[in-house]
Amino acid sequence: MVAGEAVVTITPNFEKWIVGMDRLPIELEGVVERPWRAAADVMFDRSQQYVHVITGELKSSGKAAAVKVGPGEVTAEIEYDAPYAIYEEQRGGSHAYLTRAFQSTSDLFEHALPKAWEELVATWR
């Protein structure tokens, strides 16, 4: 080898990476849903623990997370549809059942996307 000369070696996995990057939008949607749903399910469970119960109407109005994954987005929606649900949340403090639930699970959401990415990339190796 001559000084200053560069050698490039292409590994056998190179083709897997090319195919993987080409299919990324489709495959990423599949692997993102599982960890995102897991985080959303924990958040819903926590909201059920935190919601104040007097009559039980608010707690029973809670609906488990609806997770949507699409091109460039992933969302989880947790709904409480008792007529006074929003007012209870807005009272803040110990009444803010959704805020408290998110605060206690935000690390799960923060790790969901990197976890999905690592899972996907592992299939290219």
In sequence order, what are the beta bridge partners of 119? none
pLDDT tens for residues 60-111?
999 999 999 887 789 999 999 999 999 999 999 999 999 999 999 999 999 9
Under 8 Å between Cβ of 23 and 123: no
pLDDT tens for residues 38-58?
999 999 999 999 999 999 999
| Helix H or strand E segment including 65 | strand 62-70
